Amino acid sequence: MTSGAKREPFRPGTGTLVTLVVVAMFNVMGGAAVSPALPAMGEAFPQASETAISLVITLPPLAVAISGLFMGALADRIGKARTLVLSLAVFTICGLSGLFLPTLESLLVGRFIMGVAIAGIAAASAALAAEYYDEEKRAKVYGWQSAASGVSVLVLETGGGFLALLGWRAPFWVYLAGLVGLILALLFVREPDRSHAPQAHGGVAGKVARVAGVALAVSLAVAFVSQTISYLVPSKMPYLVTAFGESSAVTGLFLGGFGLANIGGSLASAPLQARIPRSALTAGCFAALAAGCAFMAVAPGMWAVLVGAVLIGIGVGCVTPVLMNWVASTSTPENSGKRMGALATACNLGQFSCTLLSGAVLALGGAHSTVFAVACAIAIAGAAAAALSYRLLDDESPSSGK
């Protein structure tokens, strides 16, 4: 081999695909893994308020919301593969730090830094998929990633509960999973080959920029609203269950149904994207969210609450990969990290706004069923907007050059 020989471009294989799906599970590990241990943490830090203790699970998603755009921009600057590896290393170290940090303050600092690492994982892994695969394969990959996140929540909420029986620090052992992701990334992830990336010039470049701007703006709005509505299920559905006189065990079962529906919607997303226009599919997902909220708002019995949770799970599980694939199809290697980071920020801000929405309705004298009624109206408006905006949502991909 001569010194001037060109190195073979990296081609993602099965190991790469497995890695991207596995690391997507870490996107929801900010709170689900350790939330069952919160009461025991309160006993370990008796001088801390309940609000301060709850920051253990709310700080990581807040950090994602704050740092998502920055971490995405960092991935564009230093490389997506490098950002993924560094973020996985920080995620693992900070996650496991809960096993030994002595004070609540130090624990919260570690949790915030871990959230920044999660933002890096989310942005880099989604951007890598955008560059590795064509649009049809990307739709499947994003669906698998979204389903993996749902599986992670189901496993963590169950496993974390059992580990919490061993002590409040025991659930932090789940962050050893980050080491698995780190090893996989080191073995199977490399920077994408950009030698054949299409370049746009003149008027085509202007159209690419316009379409990309529309895709990002609409995707951010849909992600924000859909996540706001979906987070009403884990945060407010338990109150509806309690109002019917059922136990927390029933709530757990219903949340499991919500998680399974989310997984089903995620897996169905790619086949649906291949057959249904983006506007119609987005409108359908919002219709599922609206129907789910309607069942919750007027629930005559427990069966209606379960049906509502399942419909909401299907809707949000299906629409998230649609948004990721649309943003990816309108991104370039130079900005895919930043755009995926912005999408992660919108999703996490939506989760936070759920508390603001429900708090405002309850403060005005509404009941928990009223919160779902308001969310139903918002989802109906979203469905109508998506259906009426078909010229916008179904525009040609920039790569088409049309």
Where b means 16+ CB within 10 Å and e means fewer, 331-365 reads: bbbebbbbbbbbbbbbbbbbbebbeebbeebeeee
Mean local confidence (pLDDT), 228-246:
85
Architecture of domain 14-188: Up-down Bundle (1.20)
Q: Which of 327, 293, 335 is nearest to 312 (CA)?
A: 293
For domain 202-395, give the fold: Growth Hormone; Chain: A; (1.20.1250)
> Which letter does DSSP use for residue 133 in this model?
S
The region of weakest confidence among 125-139, 260-274, 360-374 is 360-374
Q: What is the pLDDT of residue 163?
A: 81
Residue 6 has pLDDT above 80, yes or no: no
> Could you report the per-residue pLDDT of 143-174, keeping only the tens digit for each?
999 999 888 877 776 677 678 788 889 889 98
Query: Across the chain, what does the average pLDDT equal?
Result: 87
Domain ranges of the chain: 14-188, 202-395
pLDDT at 186: 97
| CA dist., res. 319 & res. 288, Å (int) | 10
Q: How confident is the model at residue 354 (pLDDT cuts 50, 70, 90)?
A: confident
What was the pLDDT predicted at 7?
63
The whole-number pLDDT of residue 286 equals 97
Phi, psi of 27 (to 5 degrees): -65, -25
* 14-188 and 202-395 agree in CATH topology: yes
* Per-residue pLDDT band at 194 (split at 50, 70, 90): low
> What was the pLDDT predicted at 402?
39
**Does the pLDDT value for residue 247 go beyond 90?**
no
How far is residue 79 from each of residues 210, 234, 348, measured CA to CA in Å?
25, 36, 24
Q: How many CA atoms lie within 13 A of 303 on its CB side?
A: 1
Residue that wins the pLDDT comparison between 253 and 94? 94
The whole-number average pLDDT for the span 276-300 is: 95
